[in-house]
Amino acid sequence: MIKVHRLVKRFGAKTVLRGLDFEVKQGEFVALLGPNGAGKTTFLRILASLSRPTLGEVHVSGYALPSQAAAVRARLGVVTHQPLLYGDLTAEENLRFYGRMYGIPEINQKINEVIEILGLTLRRADLVRTFSRGMQQRLAIGRAILHDPEVMLFDEPHTGLDQDACDMLDRLLRDVAGRGRTVVMTSHDLARVENLATRFDVLARGVIAASTARVNLGKYNLLDFYRQSMAGIPGKNVNQQTPVI
Amino acid sequence: MSTSKRPLFDYLKAIGAIVWKDLAAEIRSRELLSAMLVFALLVILIFNFAIELQPALRTTITPGVLWVTFAFAGTLGLNRSMAIEKDRGCLDGLLLAPVDRSAIYFGKAFSNLAFMLIVALIVLPIYSLLYNINIIIPGLLLVVLLGSIGYVAVGTLLSSMAVQTRTRDVLLPVLLFPVIVPVLLAAVKASSGFLQNLPMNEIWPWLNILIAYDVIFIAVAFIVFDYVIEE
Q: Which residues contact B192 (CB under 8 A, 6 or more apart)?
A: B59, B60, B62, B63, B198
Neighbours of B181 (CB within 10 A): 9
Task: Based on the fold, state whether residues A47 and A89 are members of the same structural domain.
Answer: no
Task: Based on the fold, state whether residues A50 and A155 are members of the same structural domain.
Answer: yes
Residue where a domain terminates, one of A95, A123, A148: A148
Task: Based on the fold, state whether residues A51 and A13 are members of the same structural domain.
Answer: yes
Q: Looking at this protein, which amino acid is placed at residue B227?
A: Y
Residues of chain A contacting residue B20, judged by C-beta atoms under 8 Å apart: 97, 100
Q: Can you tell me the distance from the alpha carbon of B214 to that of B186, in angstroms, rounded to the nearest whole number?
A: 12
Helix (H) / strand (E) containing A210: strand A207-213
Task: Based on the fold, state whether residues A114 and A174 are members of the same structural domain.
Answer: no
Residues of chain B contacting residue A105, judged by C-beta atoms under 8 Å apart: 2, 4
Task: Based on the fold, state whether residues A160 and A221 are members of the same structural domain.
Answer: yes
Residues of chain B contacting residue A145, judged by C-beta atoms under 8 Å apart: none
Provide the mean pLDDT of chain B.
Answer: 90
Q: Can you tell me the distance from the alpha carbon of B184 to that of B191, in angstroms, rounded to the nearest whole number?
A: 10
Predicted pLDDT at B15? 96
Instruction: Look at strands A182-186 and A2-11 and give their pairing.
Output: unpaired
Tell me the residue range of the domain where A217 lies.
Answer: 1-75+149-245
- Please determine, for residue B69, whether its predicted confidence score (pLDDT) is greater than 90: yes
Predicted pLDDT at B209? 96
Q: Which of A73, A93, A149 sits opposite B24 (nearest CB)?
A: A93
In angstroms, the separation between the Cα of residue A242 and the nearest Cα of chain B is 32
Mutation target for B interface from A10, A26, A41, A97: give the one with most B CBs within 10 A. A97
- Please determine, for residue B174, whether its predicted confidence score (pLDDT) is greater than 50: yes
Q: Do B17 and A87 touch (CB under 8 A)?
A: no
Predicted pLDDT at A237? 42
Q: Which residues contact B134 (CB under 8 A, 6 or more apart)?
A: B128
Task: Based on the fold, state whether residues A161 and A134 are members of the same structural domain.
Answer: no
Q: Do A100 and B16 touch (CB under 8 A)?
A: yes
With CA atoms as reference, the chain A residue closest to B13 would be A100
Task: Based on the fold, state whether residues A156 and A240 are members of the same structural domain.
Answer: yes
Residue where a domain terminates, one of A148, A175, A196: A148
Q: Can you tell me the distance from the alpha carbon of B177 to that of A159, in angstroms, rounded to the nearest whole number?
A: 41
Task: Based on the fold, state whether residues A139 and A231 are members of the same structural domain.
Answer: no
With CA atoms as reference, the chain B residue closest to A89 would be B25
Task: Based on the fold, state whether residues A65 and A121 are members of the same structural domain.
Answer: no
With CA atoms as reference, the chain A residue closest to B103 would be A101
Is A161:A169 a contact under the CB 8 Å cutoff?
yes
Q: Can you tell me the distance from the alpha carbon of B163 to that of B172, in angstroms, rounded to the nearest whole number?
A: 8
Q: What is the pLDDT along chain A (245 residues), one digit of tens a residue?
A: 899 999 999 998 899 999 999 999 998 999 999 888 889 999 999 999 999 999 999 999 999 998 999 999 999 999 988 889 999 999 999 999 999 999 998 899 999 999 998 888 999 999 999 999 889 988 999 999 999 899 999 999 888 788 887 888 888 888 877 778 899 999 888 888 888 889 999 998 889 988 888 888 777 788 888 888 887 644 434 344 444 44
Is A175:A114 a contact under the CB 8 Å cutoff?
no
Task: Based on the fold, state whether residues A197 and A174 are members of the same structural domain.
Answer: yes
Q: Can you tell me the distance from the alpha carbon of A202 to that of A199, in angstroms, rounded to the nearest whole number?
A: 10
How does residue B5 score in pLDDT terms, banded at 50, 70 and 90?
low
Residue where a domain terminates, one of A98, A122, A148: A148
**Interface A:B, Cβ pairs < 8 A:** 100
Q: Which of B1, B20, B28 sits opposite A75 (nearest CB)?
A: B1
Cα dihedral: B178, B179, B182, B184 (round 10): -70
Q: Do A105 and B97 touch (CB under 8 A)?
A: no
Q: Can you tell me the distance from the alpha carbon of B148 to that of B5, in angstroms, rounded to the nearest whole number?
A: 35
pLDDT in tens, B90-143: 999 999 999 999 999 999 999 999 999 999 999 999 999 888 888 889 999 999
